[in-house]
Amino acid sequence: MLSRVAHSLYWMSRYSERVENIARFIDVNMNLILDVPVNFEYQWAPLVKATGDHEDFEDRYPQANQRNVIQFLTFDRENPNSIYSAITAARENARSIREIISLEMWEQINHIYLMIKEAACTNTSLTDPATLFTDIKKACHLFIGTTDTTMTHGEGWHFVRLGRLLERADKSSRILDVKYFILLPELDYVGTPFDSLQWTALLKSMSASEMYRKSHHRICPKQIAQFLILDGNFPRAIHYCLIKAGDSLRAISESYTDSYSNQAEQRLGRLRSELDYAGINEIFHQGLHEYLDTFQWNLNEVGTAIHDTYFESPAVVAGTPSRYGI
């Protein structure tokens, strides 16, 4: 497979996953407003923090209120990680490999792009965005399903899955880090019903609320962290993402031994192994924020190794981001 094609498949998938993630945690944040007992405006800034674009936001927006944050994360064309920018890049990558992906995949990603483009031109998209975000989430889920059922599960499909899972692992770690480290307004809220609402919102923002309660039943921060980091069966847990990403990376390189054949496999295998044998008490002893910060750094190193191993210069390929991941 040409490196240009592999690069476009990988980034098409990462960008489309990014669109769904942003839409989901904005939607959850909006719904949480109905339950909190305090002024909720301060809770919008952490959403920008979770994407890693807070410095850009602070330079161009006077206040982190609902309208500004939704505009920045959804429709801002100068923000390379907004929903609009991400779906534009995903569509451009898909267009450049139109002969590789299925017709149904192209039609679906084009549908998402046109839906978001139309919403960006209407006034109701900011005053009543709940329906828009629900539609975006459903459309992105349909794209994933369409990809899995209409694309041959060969090398190209594995690049698609690899991109999606690495993006998902990164976003999951960022959302969990933001909740634990900066989301509560003051320490007095810890252990209160408001704190439970926040942890429930965290689970919902990762589509994990029902599956967590089926296995753990009650809200417990340490158990939530264990579920979202170390669970090997839940599709949005960091450990699960790395397991399946590693499987795809080995399928791409046709390396089925216990060793590794390139630096990308080595770095991803090492990161996965750390989670294979990690314990939640050990993670909390180290500090959850410190652990997740180190994890994000190591995951970026995995992305760098994948680029160096498989892709050509990003300058000639559409939709490569200037920051946020690699």
pLDDT along the chain (326 residues), means of 10: 92 96 85 62 77 87 88 92 96 96 97 93 71 92 97 96 96 83 55 72 85 88 92 95 95 79 91 93 89 94 94 50 41
CA-nearest of 326, 91, 45 to 184 is 45
CA 220 to chain centre: 23
Asked if residues 201 and 27 have their Cβ atoms less than 8 Å apart, the reply is: no
Token match 């770690």: residue? 173
Residue 25: both structure tokens together? 């945690």
pLDDT at site 182: 56
Tell me, what's the pLDDT at 315?
37
Answer whether 23's CB lies under 8 Å from 137's CB: yes
Distance from C-alpha of 104 to C-alpha of 37, rounded to nearest angstrom: 45
pLDDT, tens digit (0-9, with 9 covering 90-100), for 155-171: 999 999 999 999 999 99
- Report DSSP letters for 99-142, one per residue: TTS-HHHHHHHHHHHHHHHHHHT-SHHHHS-HHHHHHHHHHHHH
Whether 26 contacts 133, CB under 8 Å: yes
Tokens of 275: 């989670």
Contact between 111 and 142 under an 8 Å Cβ cutoff? The reply is no
The predicted structure's pLDDT at residue 276: 93
Torsion of CA 55, 81, 74, 295, to 10 degrees: -80
Burial class of residue 196, CB neighbours in 10 A (0-12, 13-18, 19+): middle
DSSP state letters, 250-262: HHHHT--SSS-SS
- Write down the pLDDT at residue 17: 96
Number of H helices, E strands in the chain: 16, 0
Q: Coil, strand or helix: which one is 290?
A: helix
In tens, the pLDDT along 173-215 reads: 988 887 766 555 555 555 666 667 778 878 888 888 899 999 8
- The set of residues, in sequence order, having a beta carbon less than 8 Å from that of 135 and lying 6+ positions away, is 115
Per-domain residue ranges of the chain: 3-316
Residue 18 and residue 290 in contact, taking contact as beta carbons nearer than 8 Å: no
Which whole-number Å values give the CA distances from 232 to 157, 173, 298, in the listed order? 22, 15, 19
309 contacts 6 by C-beta, under 8 angstroms: no
